[in-house]
Structures are given as structure tokens and as C-alpha cells.
Amino acid sequence: MNREQNTLTERYERLDMAILVLACVLVFFALGGRALWGAEGRWATITREMMLTGDYFHPTINGEPYFDKPLLTYWLIAALAFVSGALNELVVRLPSAIAGVAAVWATLRLGRHLWSPAVGRIAAMLLLTSYGLISQSRMAAADTENLATVMLAILWYWLRRDKNNFITFIVLYLIVFVGSLCKGPVAAVVTAIAILPDAIAGKRWKAFLRPASLFALAIGIAIYFAPFIWSSGTTPASYASSGLALVWQENVQRFFSPFDHKAPFYTYIHSVPVLILPWVPLFIAALITGVKYFARLDKNTHWLIKVIALIFVFFTLSGSRRSYYILPIIPFCALLTAVILTRMKEFRPSCIIPAGFTIQKWILFGAAALELLVFLALLIVPPRSAGVSLAGISLAGILVALAAIAAAIVASMAAHRLAVQPEEKAFLPLAVVAFILMGGFFCVQQNVFEESRSEHQFINKIQSATAWIPPDRIGLMYKGEVDAKMVFYLGKGTPVTLLRHEDKYADKKDPDKKTIMSFLQSDQLGVFIAQMRYVSAFPAELSSLLPATPTFEEKPVPFESKKAREERWGVWLLNSQNTTPGTGGKTTNEK
């Protein structure tokens, strides 16, 4: 009997390891293939300027204070850059990717510990192939680190729930408060919310009032505030931002009196389904079943449903709402779906779960078939948009769709050989299709699509054009906030010249004509970089100082909207040998 148990355990461990390998493939493959996007530029630029100045406690963008997040994620990026010898798209995204794998592992272990190995594996695959996890894990941000903090802390709590000693509490608080240095104390709050139902039900809350817990809590709080206190105590005279003010503004003020991101109260009703895509039908069926048959469920599942409800209510009550804020809820949604799915037989004759499973199967296989048909049509009748061929995009889509369909067939044939529950065997083909479709989109198709835009090529042109131009003669036009991505790619050791179009913080709604005019009228060699929409809105006295067309500009994306086209970047070389203002001429090396 022991030999059989050991063999079964080894099989389960191999399956668990296979899921972790798949997680690594999904989050690390071609991670640095795309140029920085959106807020990613801030993480890259701040880290770069920390490394240039040697000041790791006062974040800046283009030399200006920008203290809007705790410091740990910047430090992690800097450490990885030091080890790898480079600071690029891959390195900037690595902390999020590592955190994504950690969150999947913690979910797998938690499902195994509280329910069964099957629950752990299904939940891990649901989480791994969800839009929320994979998209955030492949992005430079702190949201996946926040998610991993919550899941690692909850896992530790359940593993050590009945061992109320100092080691239990100090590790718990270290996970929570060190992890909170990535995004903020919301990780600590969500962890407390998740622990609360079990602590109250079993009267375990008293253990948190013991001296061992309070002493460990004091250490954790001290570790969290230490970087902010050090930063405030060593602030340069010219640095106007405060880390302690950040803690108040980004957490307390944002919750009770938001200053931005004021989305409707029902935001998360549609945000949660988006985050758990493509598993919406299965999750809704599991949620309905869990609520309807609540009395039949075990205590651990009762806890799970309460946690989902509490997290949803907490983020809904917050005055500041964004779709990805509620990311910590999706591992618990995955766990609930896995629990109900593995206990499907207990809810007969209810047809809720079978119906949800059938709908889920049709959606996934239908998505693969639709992708195949759409991209086949694009390949057979190849349209062109703004002179960009879609052949590469079409081929990538066809290959991904064919791979998903073929893998699902193979998985269906091979599933019966696995020593797992029937429900897990039925789930395997769906997981395979979701893995290939989501992986194909994020790991392959996004990169192929970016090649159509040639953003890397555009960035290389900018770097080449500005290589020998001093930073003060590089004019970067901005609106509201400086484009940190562009500052990063310019790669200068000192700040470039910033030219304001509109500043939402300064009550000035017109371009700073005097500063822009002074920059453009200089007889020194220079570069002017701006989005096309800003230049098109220039008054005559400014537009007359620029060549009618940019020296080069960012290529459009296929099927790009008119608004998106207006947001493309243009670059004007000023006072170069073969460029004359107002003539629309380009330099001789631009063909």
C-alpha cells in the first residue's frame, strides 16, 4: 500500500511540475519581444535614473520627482539589470513574470492542501490561462507582485494555521509587508480580509493578539515604513515628493476621497469576468452552484465563497476603481471553479455545471475555429492597411488555431491514460485549447503584430538621430504627464528639454508658446519629438518654425483608428544640413 501511495504521490508531483513548467513557458516566452507600452515606461525610466544617480530612494522621471509607488519593484528590476548587465524590456518585466509563476504555484499548493491535488491542478490551470494573470505577468507593473503576495501569505496561513508561534507570525508578516513594498498596503488589507472569515469561525483571531503575533507585526510594520522614513529623512532640497505622503494619498485618500480613476460602482461586475477570460461560463456555473448548494459544501469552500464576496465588496467600496485593482480575486475564483467542478456528481440532478461545461467547451473550440477561419480569409484575400502586409499576422493566427485544435484532439485521446479524476480528464482538452490560444496571442501574435508597426525600428531611428545631440537640444513635447517610455528610449544621462502642450496639473490649457518658440528658433542642431496631434494643433507662429512633414514618423498599425493615427509620434531634425523650415523637405539620408 505504501509503495502504491508513493507511486501516486510521485505522479501527482510530476503533474504539478508540468503545470509550473507550462506557467514558465507562458509568462517568460518572448517576454522582451515587444517595446514598452503605457505605464511600463515609468518603471523602466525610474529604475534607469536610479542606477544613473545611485539614489534608490527618490524616484525621478527625466530628473523630476515621481514618487507614486513604493520602491521594492524598482529595486528588483535594478538587481536583475545588475545581474544581467542590461536594462531592457525583458528585465523590466521579469519581476512581474516571476510573481505570476509564484501566484500559480501558491494557488496549486493551496488547492491541494485544502481540498485535493485535482483541485490544485485545475485551479492552477484556470489561473494560468486567465487573461488577468497572463496579461499582468507579461507587463512591467506591480499588480502581479501584489497578487503573489496575497496568495503566498494565504498559503502560509493555512499551512501554519494551528502553529501559533513566533515563526508562523513573523513569516506571515514578512510576506505581507515586504510584498506591500511593491504596490502598497492593499496586499496586507486583502490578506487580512481573506484570513478574517476563518479566524472568526474558528475563534483563531485571539492568536493574532498574542505577544508573539504583536511583536512580529511591529517588525513587519517597521520594515514597511523604513524605506519611506529613510527617503523622507534624506530628501534633497530640490526633491518635492514625499514617500510618506504617497502612503496616505495612494491608499487612504484614494479609498475614501479619490482624486482620479473614478469609475462607476458597478465596474467590477464586468471587470471580474474580463479578468477570468476565457473561463467565464465555467466560473458563473460554479458560483451559482456554490451559492445554491452552500449548505452541502465543506467548511473550506464556505471560507472560499466568503473570501470572494469580501474581496469584491472591499474593492467596490473603494472610491477609486480600475479593472486590474481587483486582480487578487481571480485565484479564489479559480479555486471555487475547480472545487465545484471536481464535485460535479454531488450536485446531481442539477444541470448547472454540465451546462456551464458544455458552453465553455463550445466557446473555446469555437474561438479556435473562428480564429482559423478569420486568418485563412485574411491570407487568401490579403488586405493591406497603410501599406502594411498582414501575411505574417495571418500565418501566426492560422498556426495558433491549428495547434490548439490538434492539441485538443491529442489531449482528449491521451487523457484516459492519466491517473486522475474523470472531471480532470474532461477538463484537460479545454485547458490545452485555452493554453495554446492565450499563449499564442500573448507570446506569438502580439510580437508578430508589433513587427507590422515596426515600433522597435522607429525607436532605433530616434536613438540614431539623437545619438550626438546634447540632451538640452532634444525637445520632447508632453501633455499632462511626460512620456516616460520615450525618455527611457532616448537613453540620455541627463534630462532632455520638456515642452508642455497641456498640463492638467498647472491650469494651463494652451501650449507653452514662448518655450517652444525659443527651442525651435535656436540655430543649434536639435531634435523635436511630439505626437502628430499636438503639432497639428499648433498656432501658425509655431507651425511655421517646423518642416511641414516630420523627418520620420511612427508607422501605423493595421486597422488603426483615426484617433490612434493622430497619436503617432513624429521626429523633426532641426537645423540639420539638408532641412529647411517650412519647405517640407527631409534630410538626404531619409528616403
User: Which CA distances in Å does 454 have to 89, 348, 448, 558, 570?
Assistant: 16, 55, 10, 11, 14
Count of positions (residues) in the chain: 591
Peptide bond just before 278 cis, omega within 30 deg: yes
Q: Which of 419, 415, 432, 289 is nearest to 361 (CA)?
A: 432
**What pLDDT does 379 receive?**
78
**What pLDDT does 213 receive?**
96
Mark whether 78 and 117 lie in a shared domain.
Answer: yes
Mark whether 147 and 243 lie in a shared domain.
Answer: yes
Mark whether 387 and 446 lie in a shared domain.
Answer: yes
Mean pLDDT across the chain, nearest whole number? 87
Evaluate whether residue 590 is within a structural domain.
Answer: no
Q: Is the pLDDT of residue 93 over 60?
A: yes
Mark whether 312 and 368 lie in a shared domain.
Answer: no
Evaluate whether residue 584 is within a structural domain.
Answer: no
Q: Is the pTM of this model over 0.75?
A: yes
d(CA 8, CA 14): 10
Q: Is the pLDDT of residue 131 over 90?
A: yes
Alpha carbon distance, N-terminus to C-terminus of the chain: 77
Evaluate whether residue 585 is within a structural domain.
Answer: no
| DSSP one-letter string for 458-519 | HHHHHHHHHTTS-GGGEEEEEESB--HHHHHHHT-SSPPEEEEEEBTTTTB-S--HHHHHHH
Decide which of 453, 479, 500 is a domain's last residue. 453
Mark whether 27 and 70 lie in a shared domain.
Answer: yes
Alpha helices in 381-421 (DSSP H): 391-414
Evaluate whether residue 302 is within a structural domain.
Answer: yes
Mark whether 418 and 467 lie in a shared domain.
Answer: no
Mark whether 313 and 405 lie in a shared domain.
Answer: no
At residue 105, what is the residue type?
Answer: W
Model confidence pLDDT, tens digit, residues 243-292: 777 777 766 666 666 655 667 788 899 999 999 999 999 999 999 999 99
Number of structural domains found in the chain: 3
Mark whether 473 and 384 lie in a shared domain.
Answer: no
Model confidence pLDDT, tens digit, residues 504-556: 444 555 667 888 888 998 889 999 999 888 888 888 888 888 888 899 988 77
Q: Is the pLDDT of residue 416 over 80?
A: no
**What pLDDT does 202 receive?**
80
Q: Which of 303, 268, 299, 96 is nearest to 182 (CA)?
A: 96
**What pLDDT does 259 receive?**
55
Evaluate whether residue 104 is within a structural domain.
Answer: yes
Q: Would you give the distance in Å from CA 94 to the centre of its chain?
A: 11
Evaluate whether residue 474 is within a structural domain.
Answer: yes
Model confidence pLDDT, tens digit, residues 451-482: 766 677 888 899 998 988 999 999 998 877 78
Model confidence pLDDT, tens digit, residues 99-120: 999 999 999 999 999 999 999 9
Task: Read off the C-alpha cell for 576.
Answer: 540639420
Residues 6+ away with beta carbon under 8 Å from 387: none
Decide which of 330, 347, 364 is a domain's last residue. 347
Q: What are phi and psi of 500, to 5 degrees?
A: -85, 130
| Contact predicate 512/527, CB 8 Å | no
Q: Is the pLDDT of residue 121 over 90?
A: yes
Cell numbers 518603471 correspond to what residue?
A: 43
Q: Is the pLDDT of residue 446 over 70?
A: yes
Q: Which of 35-44, 64-73, 422-431 is least confident? A: 422-431
Instruction: Give the pLDDT mean for 12-27.
Output: 92
Mark whether 467 and 443 lie in a shared domain.
Answer: no
**What pLDDT does 386 receive?**
47
Mark whether 115 and 209 lie in a shared domain.
Answer: yes
Instruction: Give the pLDDT mean for 371-400.
Output: 76
Q: Identify the DSSP state of 400.
A: H
Evaluate whether residue 570 is within a structural domain.
Answer: yes
Model confidence pLDDT, tens digit, residues 283-341: 999 999 999 999 999 999 999 999 999 999 999 998 778 888 999 999 999 999 999 99
Model confidence pLDDT, tens digit, residues 479-495: 777 889 999 999 999 99
Q: Is the pLDDT of residue 578 over 50?
A: no
Cell numbers 491650469 correspond to what residue?
A: 507
Decide which of 321, 347, 373 is a domain's last residue. 347
Evaluate whether residue 587 is within a structural domain.
Answer: no
The domain of 429 spans 356-453
Mark whether 383 and 519 lie in a shared domain.
Answer: no
Mark whether 261 and 173 lie in a shared domain.
Answer: yes
Give me the sign of the Cα torsion angle 351, 357, 360, 362: negative
